[in-house]
């Protein structure tokens, strides 16, 4: 791959985003561009703003994803899981995620038993399908990726579940892995492409491989990172960042009907959304064919993973 690619991508971002950043108020906080923010603002700007002002709603699916994340970190770093339920709870307690702890503590009867059984099943799947890490792999969980642009007025950021290998500007030497406890979705590729772009900008070389690991089935969806992946991620990031900057300047958000309209708190004030919601087929919470606690960045936002 072209050794000057990373610098060219950064220059491209800086040049195209310069007018949008210039319009920001001088006292504005940096605009944070995350995979969740890009997903949301490209789907509907009004929904994105509504989500920012809403308190986080914890569901059994979200709790499951957070608990399985904790177990995956333990397996990768220690190589042992004792009692999956106890270890998962200890992991989120160490993270200090009070909303998940309170939700789990309030579960009773069948709801609690189902969640315990799901967590144990995911732990067994991880232990049987995921190899114990070799120290030479330099495995790092919850790897933070941060790329400031325009003098720090705009920041591309994310937290990837697992990274292997030491960053090297001269060659592709890192593998990035995202864990999903729900079903497989096309959108997961876009999230990984965003992380590949961040790693390329941060270290000067792209990751040699990116992958999504599905703990329910044990599948590993791996992909080589070529220039087409990085250019696609760049164009999508540019589109999202420009919208985020425009909204940060106080612009009226565009309203774009989409499958999330029925769950949007802005729906009572949104005529296009009301029309869309009347004809939409709702997603069924808990349905394994449609449910995923990290679905497209909406159900498992950046605050859940500490970004």
Residues 121-137 pLDDT 10s: 999 999 998 887 888 88
Mean pLDDT taken over the chain = 87
Least confident of 14-23, 50-59, 248-257: 50-59
C-alpha distance from residue 279 to each of 269, 272, 286 (Å)? 17, 11, 22
Q: How many CB atoms lie within 10 A of CB 126?
A: 22
In a domain, 280, yes or no: no
Identify whether residues 159 and 233 lie together within a single domain.
yes
In a domain, 164, yes or no: yes
In a domain, 145, yes or no: yes
In a domain, 142, yes or no: yes
Higher pLDDT, 289 or 146: 146
| Boundary of a domain, candidates 77, 104, 129 | 129
In a domain, 105, yes or no: yes
12: pLDDT strictly greater than 50: yes
Q: Mean pLDDT, to the nearest integer, of 228-248? A: 96
Range of the domain at 43: 5-54+135-252+285-293
Which band of pLDDT confidence, cut at 50, 70 and 90, is reported for residue 30?
Answer: very high
> What's the pLDDT at 56?
76
Each residue of 135-174: pLDDT tens digit? 888 899 999 999 999 999 999 999 999 999 877 766 778 9
Which band of pLDDT confidence, cut at 50, 70 and 90, is reported for residue 98?
Answer: confident
Distance CA 107, CA 122 (A): 19
H-type alpha helices, 35-154 = 35-43, 45-53, 60-78, 84-95, 98-106, 109-129
Identify whether residues 247 and 120 lie together within a single domain.
no
């Amino acid at each position: 791959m072209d050794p000057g690619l990373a610098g060219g991508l950064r220059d491209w971002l800086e040049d195209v985003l310069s007018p949008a950043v210039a319009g920001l108020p001088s006292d504005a906080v940096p605009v944070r561009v995350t995979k969740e923010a890009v997903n949301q603002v490209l789907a509907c700007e009004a929904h994105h703003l509504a989500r920012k002002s809403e308190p986080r709603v914890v569901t059994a699916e979200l709790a499951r994803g957070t608990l399985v994340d904790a177990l995956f970190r333990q397996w990768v770093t220690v190589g042992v899981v004792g009692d999956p339920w106890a270890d998962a709870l200890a992991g989120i307690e160490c993270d200090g995620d009070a909303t998940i702890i309170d939700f789990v503590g309030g579960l009773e009867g069948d709801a609690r038993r189902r969640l315990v059984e799901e967590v144990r099943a995911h732990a067994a799947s991880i232990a049987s399908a995921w190899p114990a890490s070799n120290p030479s792999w330099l495995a790092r969980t919850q790897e933070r990726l941060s790329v400031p642009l325009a003098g720090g007025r705009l920041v591309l950021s994310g937290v990837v579940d697992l990274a292997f290998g030491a960053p090297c500007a001269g060659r592709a030497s890192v593998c990035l892995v995202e864990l999903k406890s729900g079903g497989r979705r096309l959108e997961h590729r876009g999230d990984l492409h965003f992380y590949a772009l961040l790693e390329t900008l941060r270290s000067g070389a792209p990751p040699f491989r990116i992958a999504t690991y599905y703990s329910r089935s044990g599948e590993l969806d791996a992909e080589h990172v070529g220039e087409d992946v990085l250019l696609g991620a760049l164009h999508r990031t540019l589109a999202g960042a420009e919208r985020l900057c425009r909204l940060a300047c106080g612009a009226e958000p565009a309203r774009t009907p989409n499958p999330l309209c029925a769950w949007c708190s802005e729906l009572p004030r949104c005529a296009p959304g009301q029309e869309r919601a009347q004809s939409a087929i709702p997603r069924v919470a808990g349905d394994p064919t449609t449910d995923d606690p990290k679905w497209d960045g909406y159900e498992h936002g950046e605050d859940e993973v500490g970004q």
